[in-house]
Amino acid sequence: MSKPDHGIVLEASDIHRSFRQGSREIVVLDRAQLQVERGASIAILGASGAGKSTLLHILGGLDKPDQGAVTVAGQSLWSVSETERAAIRNREFGFVYQFHHLLPEFTALENVAMPLLLRGLPAAAARQQASAMLDRVGLAPRATHKPGEMSGGERQRTALARALVGEPACLLGDEPTGNLDEQTADRVFSMLLELNRELATSLVLVTHDPRLAARMDRRLELRNGCLSPMS
Ligand SMILES: Nc1ncnc2c1ncn2[C@@H]1O[C@H](COP(=O)(O)OP(=O)(O)OP(=O)(O)O)[C@@H](O)[C@H]1O
Ligand SMILES: [Mg+2]
């Protein structure tokens, strides 16, 4: 299903975030800016400790910036109630991490259906959509497997299916293939880019891998608290 075109899907302006460590204040983000166009794929690179995960948490409404605003699909994340923010998060974002974070006691199908159930979709419809998304990532034959009964790549593809099943405006990923061997990482990454094109879901991915970053539309480096374009 196609979504109305908002041009800019995700916008962060003047983001400031610091952490207090004893008597010291560590400034992690200092007037960071980001604009994500609909369907764009953006790689965020930067040294360990530069603040990439902190930035992703703020973009996804999981951490509050000290200053600045985040807008997703026209909705301001930090000027609404916690309940409303949770609803926006569920509707507009998919999240993938280095570790899959699937629920171990549930099957692949149940894990993928979870965001739809949380959204209030009837169980039968949620199962149907989850099943279609699992099929799309090539995992229809693993639908009844629990995470412990799948390979690393299969688990990560299941996590991808779960992140994308609700057709979010934007997928936020923190080294989503960082825990896989090179060949599997390439395959999962290709699948991610394919879904990005097909569903017009924007991608904002943190990666340490310049090879993967090179396959995305834009590369930004986080340094000294702000983002700047890389060649
Ligand atoms: N809750 C916190 N309290 C104190 N300091 C924090 C907190 N969260 C992050 N930091 C500090 O903020 C800085 C940025 O952390 P962050 O996890 O965003 O880095 P990163 O770029 O994702 O690094 P990596 O590539 O290693 O994952 C680090 O110096 C970290 O120690
Ligand atoms: Mg990190």
CB 41 within 8 A of CB 198: no
Q: What is the pLDDT along the chain (231 residues), one digit of tens a residue?
A: 444 455 999 999 999 999 998 999 999 999 999 999 999 999 999 999 999 999 999 999 999 999 999 999 999 999 999 999 999 999 999 999 988 899 999 999 999 999 999 989 999 999 999 999 999 999 999 999 999 999 999 999 999 999 999 999 999 999 999 888 898 889 889 989 999 999 999 999 999 999 999 999 999 999 999 999 996
The three-point CA angle 211-169-55 to 5° equals 60
CB 88 within 8 A of CB 75: yes
| Residue 6, pLDDT score | 52
| Residue 126, pLDDT score | 97
CA of 54 to the centre of ligand 1 (A): 6
| Residue 155, pLDDT score | 95
The three-point CA angle 196-199-200 to 5° equals 65
| Residue 5, pLDDT score | 53
Distance between CA atoms of residues 154 and 180, nearest Å: 10
- Structural domains of the chain ordered from first start: 8-229 (3.40.50.300)
Distance between CA atoms of residues 201 and 195, nearest Å: 8
* Ligand 1 near 52 CB (within 6 A): yes
Q: Which of 32, 81, 80, 36 is nearest to 58 (CA)?
A: 32
Ligand with smallest separation from the Cα of 51: 1
| Residue 179, pLDDT score | 87
Where helices occur in 95-223 by DSSP H, the ranges are: 108-118, 123-136, 152-164, 182-199, 210-213
In Å, how far are 140, 159, 175 from 107, measured between CA atoms? 12, 12, 24
- Candidate from 18, 20, 21, 26 with most ligand 1 atoms within 8 A of CB, to mutate: 26
Closest protein CA for atom 17 of ligand 1: 53
Q: Which of 168, 186, 164 is nearest to 177 (CA)?
A: 186
CA of 2 to the centre of ligand 1 (A): 36
Ligand with smallest separation from the Cα of 208: 1
- Candidate from 23, 24, 30, 54 with most ligand 1 atoms within 8 A of CB, to mutate: 54
Closest protein CA for atom 2 of ligand 1: 19
Q: Tell me, what DSSP letter sits at residue 230? A: -
Closest protein CA for atom 16 of ligand 1: 51
| Residue 3, pLDDT score | 46
The partner residues of 218 in beta bridges, in order of sequence, read 42
